[in-house]
Structure 1
């Protein structure tokens, strides 16, 4: 999705909320083994360019990945290293690319969707709308990935079998067209900063909601771009906040910077210690801008249920943070 600007007031309140929900810096550093200092790259990725997906319909887009080296010699895959080609694709809740366009949840044949074994006897169903791409894990096992990396905007349904308590880990990626820079093309602007967001609902076999995305989830940033200057990025303990960085379009962003952090190998496992991660930040539907996305609006009775309203979550910055890992644990009920 695209936004022309990022509210300073919202960003400020978001940052304060994240800091309030995060342990003291010294304690967080002791618990989080991930290096606090990022690796910085500058400019656009020029090597290892591979096309993952191409949409030729309305608002045509090509989802590529590439590699770029930072000043410290590390090599990074941008916007993210994914399992798009190798993993099971999540079933379509709504996907224009595949001709799956139900008018509501009543038109979805859930029983026809295979149940993925995640270890256990209880069946759960997860409904996910992600901007732009997600990978869905349970107890560290990757179950399914988004069928569309960038556009058209789609939503997904994942049925799986496990036992409580269990941990859900979701990798969210906001795709980019200028690899390594975080920019995309929008209304003629070649260097536009897009935004992100993810919403999910998890139900049990009795159709009772057992989890929704909210501020109780954990969310940590691992790739941030574009940065006009490296100094705009605030790093304090496990806080990686880019809300002070410029969100304006530019005529030439080829010299902008990006910040990268290595992803822990076991980040989605149930025994991974995420206590040092910030809590997820929530965003309203209006702020994210989903009123014209039928992949979401056709299912508002699901995502916006009065008794269990799922909220869009991300890190503290929808615009700059392009790779965010999100976690929650669903306990016994």
Structure 2
């Protein structure tokens, strides 16, 4: 797998839409929010996070792992997580774009044995009254820690904390010989409130069409929360939606 995860041991996020034996709601109005367990992240103020992740996420609040994606790869699903916390609330998300060719950041797709997949994360976080207090946008911080496949390592440009693979090829091939990958050490405290993310780049936003969710019920059934008028959440990632496979995201709710 592209990264060490807590999929086997951590609580799974509650379903909005999950074709792998979970709930398959047709709309947000079908959700019985009171049935969703409230996870204690410290404090008494209640929040609800609505999440769509491609492929896999782990959600931390004020340094505590609250829930992980119940479907690590596909079919695509969406989730809801309720929690209590004290402001300022540090929200940290580990995003993993899964792979079938381990260590090569690729999968058998679109007629090629080695084809790079893509990612994407969108979320709307609301308070107990249903008011949006945070959405995914360019104010989040995003850093990549695994980039692959690299056809030519020279394409990767590293300048301080900028890890730019935009010049790297995303073409799928049938022979992955010669592919390589770039890894960076993940800080042990990356999810903690005291972690200094000011040196990380800002997240890059992507359109729904670029991520390709217009035909995915896990997203389209809930556009009233993901595309809320006046609080329209963007899909976010690092600078390369295709080649960056382990991306850490952070924001703070004041």
Which range, TM-score by smaller chain?
over 0.9
Q: TM-score, normalised by structure 1?
A: 0.75
Query: For the Cα contact (< 8 Å) 1:181–1:254, is it kept in 2?
Result: no
Query: For the Cα contact (< 8 Å) 1:93–1:295, is it kept in 2?
Result: yes
CA distance in 2, matches of 1:219, 1:175: 18
When the two structures are aligned, how many residues end up with a matched partner? 254
Which has the greater radius of gyration?
1
CA distance in 1, matches of 2:230, 2:136: 14
Question: Which among 205, 208, 215 is matched to residue 285 of structure 1?
Answer: 208
Query: For the Cα contact (< 8 Å) 2:117–2:242, is it kept in 1?
Result: yes
Q: In the alignment, which residue of structure 2 is the partner of 1:90? A: 13
Q: In the alignment, which residue of structure 1 is the partner of 2:219? A: 296
Q: Helix, strand or coil for the counterpart of 1:98? A: coil
Query: For the Cα contact (< 8 Å) 2:156–2:168, is it kept in 1?
Result: yes
1:214-253 → structure 2 map (5 Å cutoff) = 214-253=137-176
Q: Helix, strand or coil for the counterpart of 2:20? A: helix
CA distance in 2, matches of 1:278, 1:99: 36
Q: In the alignment, which residue of structure 1 is the partner of 2:194? A: 271
Query: For the Cα contact (< 8 Å) 2:15–2:22, is it kept in 1?
Result: no
Alpha-carbon shift at residue 93 of structure 1 (Å) = 1.1
Q: In the alignment, which residue of structure 1 is the partner of 2:61? A: 138
Is 1:154 equivalent to 2:77 in the alignment?
yes
CA distance in 2, matches of 1:127, 1:291: 18
Alpha-carbon shift at residue 100 of structure 1 (Å) = 1.3
Alpha-carbon shift at residue 168 of structure 1 (Å) = 0.2
Q: In the alignment, which residue of structure 2 is the partner of 1:56? A: none
Alpha-carbon shift at residue 224 of structure 1 (Å) = 0.3
Q: In the alignment, which residue of structure 2 is the partner of 1:202? A: 125
Q: Helix, strand or coil for the counterpart of 1:111? A: helix
Question: Which among 147, 152, 163 is matched to residue 86 of structure 2?
Answer: 163
Q: In the alignment, which residue of structure 2 is the partner of 1:312? A: 235
CA distance in 2, matches of 1:186, 1:102: 28
CA distance in 2, matches of 1:99, 1:159: 18
CA distance in 2, matches of 1:270, 1:208: 23
Where in structure 1 are there 5+ consecutive unaligned residues? Answer: 1-64, 66-78
Alpha-carbon RMSD: 0.7
Alpha-carbon shift at residue 185 of structure 1 (Å) = 1.1
Question: Which among 94, 98, 103 is matched to residue 26 of structure 2?
Answer: 103
Alpha-carbon shift at residue 187 of structure 1 (Å) = 3.4
Q: TM-score, normalised by structure 2?
A: 0.99
Q: Helix, strand or coil for the counterpart of 2:34? A: helix
Query: For the Cα contact (< 8 Å) 1:122–1:205, is it kept in 2?
Result: yes
1:19-34 → structure 2 map (5 Å cutoff) = none
Query: For the Cα contact (< 8 Å) 1:89–1:144, is it kept in 2?
Result: yes
Q: Helix, strand or coil for the counterpart of 1:97? A: coil
Q: In the alignment, which residue of structure 2 is the partner of 1:254? A: 177
Alpha-carbon shift at residue 273 of structure 1 (Å) = 0.3
Query: For the Cα contact (< 8 Å) 1:124–1:205, is it kept in 2?
Result: yes
If each structure's helix is expressed as a fraction of its own residues, which one has the higher value?
Answer: 1
Q: In the alignment, which residue of structure 2 is the partner of 1:125? A: 48
Cα deviation digits, residues 108-131 of structure 1 (max 9, x gap): 111101100000001100011000
Cα deviation digits, residues 36-58 of structure 1 (max 9, x gap): xxxxxxxxxxxxxxxxxxxxxxx
Query: For the Cα contact (< 8 Å) 1:197–1:318, is it kept in 2?
Result: yes
Cα deviation digits, residues 208-228 of structure 1 (max 9, x gap): 000000000000000000000
